[in-house]
Structure 1
Amino acid sequence: MVSHTEIQASNALINDATAPRTAVFVGGTAGIGQLTIRALVATDASVRIFIIGRKSAEERMNVFIQELRTTNPKAEIIWIEAEVSLLAETKRVCAVIKGKEAHVDLLFLTTGYAPFGGRKETTEGVEIAQSLEHYTRVLFILHLLPLLEKAEAPRVVSVLSGGMEMANIDLDDIDLKRPGNFNVMKAQTQYMALHTMVLEKLADQNPNVAFIHSWPGWVNTGNVKRGRDPNSFLSWLIWFTLEPLIWLFATSDDVSAQMHLFQCTSAAFGGRGIPWNGKPGVTSLGKETDGLFLVNKNCDCTPNAKVLAKLREEAQGKIWDHTQDVLRPYL
């Protein structure tokens, strides 16, 4: 376990020379994304941050962005409005960033929610939670990889469920479209395995980029409320049961922010970044560099070796090919 004191000491070394100079936050309008942005800006480093979010968040984000500019006048904050559950919108946003930047140091991805309200599809025919938690995240990575490759210490941090994968996924119905084949637990199990397998493949293909799939534990982001009628019985049940548990056991906002800032900057993951004298992180393939780091809520690496070996042998090829087929029209 990496102690909070060690994390704070590492983060205290972030400055103009060591900070990710250009960072893209997808899902930075609330929760862990917003907390991490605030922590990065508070380092007083000179940074340029793209925040991508929905139109409905724009008014609230204008207030947040003004707060950031007051906290750190050297920080340049760029808001891009987009509905990133849509693959076409993701492609458009990436084109905007590629038109403005020569490199990207950090891509931080946090979009998604647990689909307690049942299966709901985007206008492109993709289940919304699956699009947010897997497809659009991978599409952002694929489009921005050329800019990441030009950075000195590029990093992709995808916050979902790294190290929590299970092997019992449905390869005959990867998108869970068959009638009666969708429920929230099956969907989340499916999506976390899909995402880890594709991230591992991307990490193997791009050894100069550090890839992290982070499991943050419980953080009170409000995502359990998303995707359902707030006046429904299910919403009431979640409010009555889950929210008190989250409040009781959740990691505090400040601790979560510092943990994820550490994941964004420390050489503990891949050897590039803020110098780290502690135990180095180990990838999903057991290496200390060049691979995918599955990082838990204590900033420890959890390779989940037995499950991932099975997924790698039986599922990774099919998952990779299927993901490529879905994304191909938007590349």
Structure 2
Amino acid sequence: MVSLQLVQQSNARIASLPKGLVALFIGATSGIGQSTLQHFAQHAPSPLIYSVARPATVASHQSFLASLHQSRPQGSYEVITADVSLVSEIDKVVDAITEKETKLDILFMSPGFMAFDGRKNTLEGLDPSMTTRYYSRLRAVQQLLPLLNNAAAPRIVSVLGGGIERPLYEDDLDLRDESHWSMWTSAFHPATMGTLALEILARENPQLSIIHWFPGPVSTPGLAKAREYGMVPPNQMALEEAGKRGAFLVTSERYAVGGSEAVQKSGGGIFLIDPLGESTDNEVLLADLRIRGVDQKVWKFTLDIFDECEVRAKRDKDEL
């Protein structure tokens, strides 16, 4: 267990990191992402922070970032308007970043929600709960690789279910069969597919530090909504602590490429991290999936989805 005291000591040293770190937060309009952004901004020297907000939350998020700027005026804080329940919207985010930056040091991704009301496909024909947890995240990583590779020590953190992956419906990865889809499978499929896809990208880009974090139950607005459906998980982490731990994950040398030997990578080359910052192991499942080539199948399927979304977006644009 990485104690909260150690986390806070490490976060205090963020001030000694190079000035002008460029960070992109996707999913930081509330919850773990917002708390992480806040704790990172409190310490980072002159950071350039971009944060994505869907249209309905832009105003409130701008107010939040304005308050950060008031307390830390040396930083730069910018909202990018996009609805990440649509894969095509991620390309708008990427364009906004690449127009202004030549590198990206930190990519922190925590969007998502529990689909209590069932599957309701977007205009792209995808389940939005799966898109926010998987497709849009991986599209962001894929499209931002050039900027990440230009950074001295690039780091990606995806907040979902590292270490608690589950078996997949391998012939129905998008859960289009109604008998396969449920609130839980729509959560575990993105987590498992996320680990496998991020492992592939880690092997292709060994200089990237990629972390898939399972924070456990955290007192977020999403968890508050879950209570309405009778879900009250025990031992909930306070949101403040989760944010401190999130900032720790994006900055600590413990998770750097070639960092602490105490933190082991998965067999596929990424950090699977438990709620309290330790490496976790799920090799019984993951090794089998790799051996059978399921990771490559997942990534090919994902690239095909991206192609379909690109075609649809171009067609829609042409029709305007």
- The one-letter amino acid paired with 1:326 is I
Deviation, structure 1 residue 280:
3.1
Checking the alignment, whether the CA contact within 8 Å between 1:113 and 1:223 is kept in structure 2 is: yes
Q: Is 1:257–2:229 an aligned residue pair?
A: no
Measure, in 2, the Cα distance between the counterparts of 1:20 and 1:263: 18
2:266 match: 284
Measure, in 2, the Cα distance between the counterparts of 1:186 and 1:86: 20
Deviation, structure 1 residue 225:
6.4
For the residue of structure 2 that corresponds to 1:130, the secondary structure is helix
Checking the alignment, whether the CA contact within 8 Å between 2:211 and 2:270 is kept in structure 1 is: yes
Q: Structure 1 residues 190 and 27, CA, compared in 2 at 3 Å: closer, same or farther? A: same
Measure, in 1, the Cα distance between the counterparts of 2:229 and 2:222: 15
Q: Is 1:323–2:273 an aligned residue pair?
A: no
Deviation, structure 1 residue 223:
2.0
Q: Structure 1 residues 44 and 132, CA, compared in 2 at 3 Å: closer, same or farther? A: closer
Structure 2 gaps, min length 5: 311-320
Deviation, structure 1 residue 136:
0.5
Checking the alignment, whether the CA contact within 8 Å between 2:161 and 2:188 is kept in structure 1 is: no
Q: Is 1:218–2:217 an aligned residue pair?
A: yes
Measure, in 2, the Cα distance between the counterparts of 1:128 and 1:190: 13
Deviation, structure 1 residue 85:
1.1
Structure 1 gaps, min length 5: 227-234
For the residue of structure 2 that corresponds to 1:14, the secondary structure is helix
For the residue of structure 1 that corresponds to 2:107, the secondary structure is strand
Q: Structure 1 residues 177 and 58, CA, compared in 2 at 3 Å: closer, same or farther? A: same
Q: Structure 1 residues 39 and 20, CA, compared in 2 at 3 Å: closer, same or farther? A: farther
Q: Structure 1 residues 67 and 179, CA, compared in 2 at 3 Å: closer, same or farther? A: same
Measure, in 2, the Cα distance between the counterparts of 1:184 and 1:53: 24
In angstroms, what is the RMSD of aligned CA positions? 1.9
Q: Is 1:84–2:62 an aligned residue pair?
A: no
Measure, in 2, the Cα distance between the counterparts of 1:98 and 1:44: 22
| TM-score for both structures, normalised by structure 2 | 0.91
- The one-letter amino acid paired with 1:263 is L
* Identity %, equivalent residues: 31
Q: Is 1:300–2:278 an aligned residue pair?
A: yes
Aligned residues between the structures: 309
For the residue of structure 2 that corresponds to 1:323, the secondary structure is helix
Checking the alignment, whether the CA contact within 8 Å between 1:41 and 1:71 is kept in structure 2 is: no
- The one-letter amino acid paired with 2:75 is A
1:41 match: 41
- The one-letter amino acid paired with 2:279 is C
| TM-score for both structures, normalised by structure 1 | 0.88
